[in-house]
């Protein structure tokens, strides 16, 4: 019984074992890919990113100059970023849940 009380006192005055997530965020490790970001002003709609995407998460319509991205299909491989000739696709390291698709 006395070991139980000692354990309670030890845990009552100890630091928390986890972070207070919304307020204290974990630093991301180097090399994390995160999410896809596009600069629509520099995109020439060449469809190379859509052709290189193994998950078919990117569709590009050259006729209407429309670029769509499905984040739920994306496997975050980065092949589309490597294939882009204008370097308008980048991988941002943060995961904020926002979709970077623009109609």
Residue 45: give its domain's CATH number. Answer: 3.30.70.3270
Q: Is position 13 within any domain?
A: no
In DSSP terms, which residues pair with 69 in a beta bridge? 58
Exposure class string for 59-92: b at 16+ Cβ within 10 A, else e: ebeeeeeebebeeeebeeeebbbebbeeebbeee
Domains of the chain: total = 1
Q: What is the pLDDT of residue 95?
A: 64
- Round to whole Å and give the CA distance between 62 and 81: 18
- Closest residue by Cα to residue 55 from 71, 35, 44, 66: 71
Q: Is position 75 within any domain?
A: yes
What are the 10-residue block averages of pLDDT along the chain, 103 residues in total?
84 87 82 85 93 94 92 91 93 64 43
Q: What is the pLDDT of residue 23?
A: 86
Q: Is position 43 within any domain?
A: yes
Question: Virtual CA dihedral for 45, 50, 51, 57, nearest 10 degrees?
Answer: -170
Q: What is the pLDDT of residue 100?
A: 45
| Domain range for 64 | 29-92
Q: What is the pLDDT of residue 96?
A: 59
Q: Is position 3 within any domain?
A: no
| pTM score over 0.85 | no
Q: Is position 38 within any domain?
A: yes
CA angle 96, 92, 103 (to 5 degrees): 75
């Amino acid at each position: 019984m006395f070991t139980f009380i000692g354990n309670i006192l030890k845990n009552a005055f100890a630091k928390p074992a986890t972070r207070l997530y919304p307020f204290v965020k974990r630093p991301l490790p180097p090399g994390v890919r995160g999410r896809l970001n596009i600069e629509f002003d520099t995109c020439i709609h060449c469809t190379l990113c859509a052709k290189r995407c193994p998950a078919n998460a990117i569709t590009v319509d050259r006729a209407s100059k429309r670029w769509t991205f499905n984040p739920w299909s994306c496997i975050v491989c980065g092949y589309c970023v490597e294939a882009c000739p204008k370097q308008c696709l980048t991988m941002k390291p943060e995961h904020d849940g926002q979709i970077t698709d623009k109609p």
